[in-house]
Amino acid sequence: MNLIQKTRLKLLLHLNIFLLCLYCTSSYPTPMKCTDTSRVCTSFLAFKPRPNQTLAMIQSMFDVLPDEVTVEGNGWEYIFIRKNCSCAAGMKKYVSNTTLTVKSNGGFVHDLVMEAYDGLALLPNTTRWVRKGGVISLSLFCSCSSGLWNYLMSYVIRDGDSVESLASRFGVSMDSIETVNAIDNADTLAVGSLYYIPLNSVPGELYHLKNDTPPAPTPSPSVDNFSVICAIIEYEFLFSAALIPDILDMDKPVVFSHEEIFSSTDGFSDSNLLGHRKYGSVYYGLLRDQEVAIKRMTGAKTKEFTSEMKVLCKVHHANLVEFIGYAASHDEFFLIYEYAQKGSLSSHLHDPQNNGHSPLSWITRVQVALDAARGLEYIHEHTKTRYVHQDIKTSNILLDASFRAKISDFGLAKLVCKTNAGETTATKVVNAYGYLAPEYLSNGLATTKSDVYAFGVVLFEIISGKEAIIQTQGPEKRSLASIMLAVLRNSPESVSLSSTRNLVDPIMMDLYPHDCVFKMAMLAKQCVDEDPVLRPDMKQVVISLSQIMLSSVEWEATLAGNSQVFSGLVQGR
């Protein structure tokens, strides 16, 4: 058998497996009919992690925060993922969305999804190959209760499971499990099938783990190495990459040689230059068969290099640019990140045609805002050591191949401290004019609410398409926030947005829900309030944007029936 025949046979085999899996998943029970596309509920997914899956990896897989993960405390070694669940227009089933970043050497989509989620994800309608670093958009199986129970939990049947054992394990009646899943014969549970467990309380216990390892019998062997590396980075400044051996996989920082960095960027050629950042230039590189972005910093930037490394060793979230590794020579430092294929948000909002981009649809803008808000909320509220980013702006919000947003540039991020008054503060900040909160101008100190202010400016940019600083008549410049606030203060408290319509980005061609735009504008107004106490925290911002997202999806579905097709009218995705 020649190579071509072997390849065709392999593709045919994968296609057959895919069709079989598709048939199996199509037969999964749907306990509650999905008709109300505006409904959102809290659901849970029961997941059994593998020994090498850390909490950070699980968070990324399911797009959740640490406090949305609980652990089963009776030796079953399951964890429970809390997700918002909604009725997907066009699919006629309840789903929750997430993305999977391929960390291995690549593979066929359905193989990767089945291996990662073990039956909890709806298989994408494709048999394509995805290489390392690729991003797969997914829908997870979930469901909303009709009201008889508070929650429904997705659970994949394993060998030895029965209705009786599940009822005993989760403290529910056998009748309730049979009713939810329309089970006629309790002896017909098939291994690998997905069922729903009705619950009246949140399952599991708080997920407290040492060294960020999953609840598995054997902890990850590389965790101690990772801690040692982070300590060396923080206190020794890494004047030579030879200090640390290259022994870590791609889920931990990897040490690269200067020769590898030089070769991957074609000798730092201008054709590989992505742009200039605050503390160095950024280059595109192909490093060990993975697309990466490489920040090049001079040896004089030891402080900034160390500051960014301190943060990058400790924060991992789907909406933060993932740190891959570093390199150092006698006079230069290099930080290597995942490559954001679509570039910065600013390049898509401000004169996108000249930047080679299609206009962003309203749905994409809301999704980007929600992604960025989740990333910012994570470093404010959910990391063990909490941070103020201090440099939130549209040029520091990057978009991947699926237009999912990730916050970048942590060179200015600082630890959050507590004052006697209880206010969180950080050291001096050097954010760009137009994003600066009023309190910084008076006392030079940044707080989490300063980040909220800057995020409010980002929301104004998303709505208007304008930059944070606008050139008015003559040499005068005004901040976008002041212009938007002047209009919003004179607007009636209604959803018509009639007086602010002229401030909405005209490139959207009136293809947006006016009430949702108005709600985002009012949210931005709250974020840039002069009094930091009156500004919402990022958790409240995430909740508000989630509601705006759901309303926007419903609006789009009423116009076209298929949100992805309709969004394509404004921007091909």
Which residues are tagged catalytic? 391
- Give the alpha-carbon dihedral of 145, 149, 152, 155, to 10 degrees: -130
Half-sphere exposure of 387 (CA within 13 A, CB side): 24
- Residues pairing with 294 in the sheet: 283, 336
SS (H, E, C) 468-518: CEEECCCCCEEEHHHHHHHHHHCCCCCCCCHHHHHHCCHHHCCCCCHHHHH
Report the C-alpha gap between 333 and 282 in whole angstroms.
Answer: 12
Task: Give, for 136, the enclosing helix (H) or strand (E).
Answer: strand 135-141
Backbone CA torsion sign across 219, 223, 228, 234? negative
Name residues whose C-beta falls within 8 Å of residue 188's C-beta, 6 or more positions apart in sequence.
none
Q: How far is CA 209 from the centre of its chain?
A: 22
What b/e readout covers 207-244, taking b as 16+ CB neighbours within 10 angstroms? bebeebbbbeeebbebeeebeebbeebeeebbeebeeb
CB 78 within 8 A of CB 103: no
- And the tokens for 461? 């940019």
Amino acid at the residue 193:
S
Query: What is the number of other CB atoms lying within 10 angstroms of the CB of residue 27?
Result: 10
